[in-house]
Amino acid sequence: MNEWYRACNKAASIIRNAIPGTYRSRTFSGIIGDIKALPSKKALSLISRKKGLGKQYAYLYLTRGIDEGRGYQACTTEALASALGNKRKVFIKGNILDVGCAVGVTAGILNLCHVTGFDLFTDLLQTAKLIDSLLNRENDYVAADMTKTWPFDTIFDTVVCGLVCHHLKTQSETASFFSNVNRVLKPYGSLIITMPSGSISNISNFNKVTNTIKDFGFKINSECSGIVLSDDSTHSLFWMFLITAEKVSDEVGSIFISPDFAFPLYRTPVTREEKGKQARETVQKTRMVRHEYFKFINAVDLEKRVSNRTLVYETVSKL
């Protein structure tokens, strides 16, 4: 187990004591479901009002999302490293901005320095700082809302958006997000995006996302943008989208994002029953994925192989 995972376990045992009894039974998917269901301002207000709930979120992030490298969030970052392979230092370079950094996942797993991470929730950022302090590392963490203007200038060589774009709920949030990315990146800076399965329903959705990114002044690296699949014998539920791009223009005017853009299969559970069902399904899934099983299929190959079929896990596992 790498030292960052060990430090996450230590941090989890430290913050566990600060969680009030009322929130200790809250599940990871339940809290995430609430956050996704609410506009960011309300999500922030919910976590601030219910003192201690943010700590439970941070605790569950460490024990479920990371889980010594077995959690979905840790697997995704491991998959990112494995898909980029020896091109990693070409794409992830210099001053790095980690959008929606949670507990400092990208910096921690990829062992990066010069990282500025930002997230909506201070409990996650404090946990990231705690983990860094256990390892004598120093990255910067800032509380900010990715749907508003980002509090940074054009100072970054790389912007990493790991599993955050599906939190953008409207066309205007999406437009503001990509304008921010363009503004804070230096010319020829890198943009790295990962998205979970379910955030894209078919290949034309994937193309819509990449075309929108192009409209915002980026060139997509087609050999490094596509889908990461788990190829393990259990075909456990793991696949994600990866987009790598380079900033080629900062001339971004008013861009029209069509109403059917965004992340169409991302749908917030609307009722308590639906939320409960989703939470139970998530909990029942056994994650057997190890990062050595990750296989990368680039955007061009993906299009040839699945054309415009609906991308459900069963389809993808037969590729």
Interface contacts to ligand SAM, rule CB under 6 A: 40, 73, 76-77, 100-102, 105-106, 119-121, 124, 145-147, 162-164, 167
Q: Rounded CA gap, 158 and 163, in Å?
A: 16
Q: Least distance (Å) from ligand SAM to the CB of residue 121?
A: 5
Residue type, 37: A
Query: Is residue 299 within 8 Å of 222, Cβ to Cβ?
Result: yes
Nearer to ligand SAM, 105 or 279 (CB): 105
Nearer to ligand SAM, 162 or 189 (CB): 162
Kindly provide the residue ranges of all beta strands, DSSP E only, lying in the chain, ordered along the sequence: 96-99, 115-119, 140-143, 156-162, 185-196, 218-220, 226-230, 239-247, 294-298
Nearer to ligand SAM, 144 or 255 (CB): 144
Q: Rounded CA gap, 169 and 149, in Å?
A: 16
Identify the CA nearest to 147 among candidates 123, 122, 175, 185. Answer: 175
Q: Rounded CA gap, 282 and 285, in Å?
A: 6
- Token pair recorded at residue 223: 């050999």
Q: Least distance (Å) from ligand SAM to the CB of residue 146?
A: 4
Nearer to ligand SAM, 203 or 289 (CB): 289
C-alpha distances in Å from residue 208, one per residue of 136, 202, 212, 215, 230: 42, 10, 6, 10, 24
Nearer to ligand SAM, 164 or 203 (CB): 164
Q: Least distance (Å) from ligand SAM to the CB of residue 305?
A: 27
Q: Least distance (Å) from ligand SAM to the CB of residue 308?
A: 27
Q: Least distance (Å) from ligand SAM to the CB of residue 251?
A: 26
Q: Least distance (Å) from ligand SAM to the CB of residue 299?
A: 21
Nearer to ligand SAM, 192 or 245 (CB): 192
Q: Rounded CA gap, 42 and 57, in Å?
A: 16
